[in-house]
């Protein structure tokens, strides 16, 4: 019997979507306002879910305190109030779209969570736009 447990978190960050190898005009056509050279911010909402068997001793799939601390250490401390393009090494050569941010978060969390459990990352860039990555 598998159960999914989830933890919500939040961070604010700035970004710019563009490709160095494209002209400003092409970047503008593809990325629109997100290509603003002076950057812009989003209030990101994150939901990390862990799916696995309930431990018969504790009754937990995963101790939520441990998940909370892990998200704080790996995501909030790395991304909150940062410029993703300039301050976060993962995005030096990778466009910080919601899709890529979700994959980076998943990759940062995966080594710290029991390999028997599946993990899923849902990232809201706006209240209406969100992406999901499960590996
Ligand atoms: Ni944006």
Positions marked active-site: 34, 81, 125
Task: For residue range 59-111, list pLDDT tens digits in order.
Answer: 999 999 999 999 999 999 999 999 999 999 999 999 999 999 999 999 999 99
Fold exhibited by the domain 2-133:
Tetrahydropterin Synthase; Chain A (3.30.479)
pLDDT at 115: 97
Enumerate the H helices of 1-135 as residue ranges: 24-31, 64-71, 77-79, 84-87, 98-109
CA of 72 to the centre of ligand 1 (A): 22
Domain range summary for the chain, segments of one domain joined by +: 2-133
**Residue 10 neighbours by CB distance under 10 Å:** 13
User: Taking the mean position of all CA atoms in its chain, how far away is CA 71?
Assistant: 10
| pLDDT tens readout for residues 15-56 | 999 999 999 999 999 999 899 999 999 999 999 999 999 999
Q: How many CB atoms lie within 10 A of CB 87?
A: 14
Ligand 1 centre to CA of 110 (Å) is 26
Task: Tell me the C-alpha distance between 111 and 26, whole Å.
Answer: 38
Q: What is the pTM of this model?
A: 0.95
Q: Ion ligand 1 — residues with CB under 5 Å? A: 34
Structure tokens at 20: 């160095």
Q: How far away, in angstroms, is 126 Cα from ligand 1 center?
A: 9
């Amino acid at each position: 019997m598998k159960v999914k447990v989830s933890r919500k978190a939040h961070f604010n960050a700035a970004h710019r979507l563009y490709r160095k190898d494209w002209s400003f005009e092409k970047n503008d056509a593809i990325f629109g306002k997100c290509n603003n050279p002076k950057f812009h911010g989003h209030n990101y909402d994150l939901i990390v879910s862990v799916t696995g068997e309930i431990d018969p001793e504790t009754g937990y799939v995963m101790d939520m305190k441990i998940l909370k601390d892990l998200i704080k250490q790996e995501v909030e401390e790395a991304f909150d109030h940062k410029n993703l393009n300039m301050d976060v090494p993962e995005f030096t050569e990778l466009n910080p779209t919601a899709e890529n941010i979700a994959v980076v978060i998943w990759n940062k969390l995966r080594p710290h969570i029991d390999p028997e459990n599946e993990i899923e990352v849902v990232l809201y860039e706006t209240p209406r736009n969100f992406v999901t990555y499960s590996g």
